[in-house]
Amino acid sequence: MEKGPLTEEARLERMSAPLLAWYKENKRDLPWRIEPNPYKVWVSEIMLQQTRIEAVKPYFDRFMKELPDVAALAAVEDDRLMKLWEGLGYYNRARNLKKAADVIVREYDGVMPPQYQELKKLPGIGCYTAGAIASIVFGEDVPAVDGNVLRVLSRILASREDIGKSSVKKKAEDLLKRVMPKGEAGDFNQGLMELGETVCVPGGIPKCGECPVSRICLARESGLACELPIKAPPKKKKIEKRTVCILEHKDLVGLCRREDTGLLASLYELPNAEGHWNQKQLCQVFHLKEDQVVSIEQLPDAKHIFSHVEWHMIGYRIKVEGELPKGLIAAKKEELKTIYPLPNAFSRYTKLIK
Ligand code: SF4
């Protein structure tokens, strides 16, 4: 019998067997787990960053149908790619997917490199995604540490270290690398992720009664499960007031295209301006001639939260006669569904375009 408290490494070593057995019994049927290949795992992992599994499923199916492999992704038009990504947010993730696909086609004959270190060199692929692809598809013994895994580890070890710190993530990767069962890294990593998603859940009471590793969990033993993990609160977001306009003329709607860099780069948007403007000010703000305005309707307020900024929006529907102001793209209403990628930030208003 061992004497004294277990080291962190020894505690985590005891996690492998029950975790693997539990994962094999309980793993969910997810679209990217059916006949997995590196491309499917890659796309799913990028989509799953900051988005729930249930929300990702329809996007994943649609994406795979239209872009079934790396070559198709490398060749897709930017606007089409953005349209396929519309609603998932964080559009740079999609741009990086395409950039990486380009590199794979040019430098790797269209075949994803199987090694963790090579995968990490591709645009948009960091330690977590490289670890997930390398372990799940290629069986390399490398960890894949995301927020779910950090939460589970922090609770098992009753750690009060801030899981938002990169040093804590690095320490978790080092520890897992040492304790993971050789040759089973894929299931081990997925088991940890799945445990975090379904049992050791965030923002609520973890289901310790159903947990395969409860016997070694220090947070459960000391009643700290709901207090952990520790994560420093996010920085306060800047609030930006905006006025959004649905500018309509018959079956046409005015759109703008955003700059090529910065927030929502290159996407289309409804005309909008910084500040909250009243009805009398709209013609000046949106460059309209007063005699072309047929009607103005106030629309509900809306809010959209980005990673660093919050838009607090008021909206109007302005019907005009003659033609839409110069400089705007006159889009047919049905083309909003099929052609133009419009970010979620405007969804409160785009839903009102009939
Ligand atoms: Fe999480 Fe509870 Fe399992 Fe510990 S016992 S890992 S707190 S679910």
Separation between Cα atoms, residue 217 and residue 181, nearest integer Å: 19
pLDDT at 3 over 70: no
Q: Using 50, 70 and 90 to split pLDDT, how confident is the model at 322?
A: confident
- For the stretch 33-78, pLDDT in tens is 888 899 999 999 999 987 888 999 999 999 999 999 999 999 999 9
* Residue 69: how many other CB atoms lie within 10 Å: 13
pLDDT at 180 over 90: yes
* Distance in Å, CA 319 to ligand 1 centroid: 57
The residue-averaged pLDDT of 310-319 equals 97
Nearest CA to ligand 1 atom 5: 214
Helix (H) or strand (E) holding 252: strand 252-257
The residue-averaged pLDDT of 268-296 equals 94
- For the stretch 80-139, pLDDT in tens is 999 999 989 889 999 999 999 999 999 999 999 999 999 999 999 999 999 999 999 999
- Of 45, 140, 173, 248, the active-site residue reads 45
3-state secondary structure of 62: helix
Most informative mutation of 152, 215, 222, 230 for ligand 1 (most atoms within 8 A of CB): 152
309-320 vs 238-249, strand pairing mode: parallel
Separation between Cα atoms, residue 346 and residue 87, nearest integer Å: 10
* Distance in Å, CA 225 to ligand 1 centroid: 7
**Which atom, in ligand 1's list, is nearest to the CA of 211?**
3
Q: What's the one-letter identity of residue 155?
A: R
Residue with tokens 């787990």: 33
Q: Which are the contacts of 3, defined by CB distance < 8 A and separation ≥ 6?
A: none
Nearest CA to ligand 1 atom 2: 208
* Distance in Å, CA 207 to ligand 1 centroid: 7
Measured from CB, residues less than 6 Å from any atom of ligand 1 are: 152, 155-156, 199-200, 206-208, 211, 213-214, 217, 219-220, 225
**Annotation says 194 is catalytic:** no
Residues 19-22: contacts with CB within 8 Å, 24+ apart?
19/188, 19/191, 19/192, 19/195, 19/212, 19/213, 20/181, 20/184, 20/187, 20/188, 20/191, 21/212, 22/191, 22/195, 22/212
Q: How far is CA 92 from CA 48, 61, 107, in A?
A: 14, 20, 22
Most informative mutation of 217, 218, 226, 227 for ligand 1 (most atoms within 8 A of CB): 217
* Distance in Å, CA 195 to ligand 1 centroid: 9
**Which atom, in ligand 1's list, is nearest to the CA of 206?**
8
Q: Which are the contacts of 324, defined by CB distance < 8 A and separation ≥ 6?
A: 247, 249, 252, 254, 330
What are the residues facing 292 on neighbouring strands?
none
Separation between Cα atoms, residue 338 and residue 80, nearest integer Å: 9
CB 271, CB 286: distance < 8 Å: yes
* Distance in Å, CA 191 to ligand 1 centroid: 13
Q: Using 50, 70 and 90 to split pLDDT, how confident is the model at 2?
A: very low
- For 178, the token pair is 């040492």
Residue 112, burial from CB neighbour count under 10 angstroms (0-12, 13-18, 19+): buried
Nearest CA to ligand 1 atom 1: 200
CB 192, CB 152: distance < 8 Å: yes
Q: What angle do CA 146, 152, 158 make, to 5 degrees?
A: 125
Most informative mutation of 213, 221, 228 for ligand 1 (most atoms within 8 A of CB): 213
Question: With the CA atoms of 91, 274, 277 and 327 taken in that order, what torsion angle do they form, in degrees rounded to the nearest 10?
Answer: -70
Helix then strand then coil, in percent of the chain rounded to 5, is 45, 15, 40
Per-residue pLDDT, 256: 96
Separation between Cα atoms, residue 128 and residue 196, nearest integer Å: 15
The secondary structure of residue 325, as a DSSP letter, is P
The residue-averaged pLDDT of 241-256 equals 96
**Which atom, in ligand 1's list, is nearest to the CA of 228?**
7
**Which atom, in ligand 1's list, is nearest to the CA of 152?**
6
- For 333, the token pair is 């209403």
Residue 268, burial from CB neighbour count under 10 angstroms (0-12, 13-18, 19+): buried
Residue with tokens 């070593």: 13
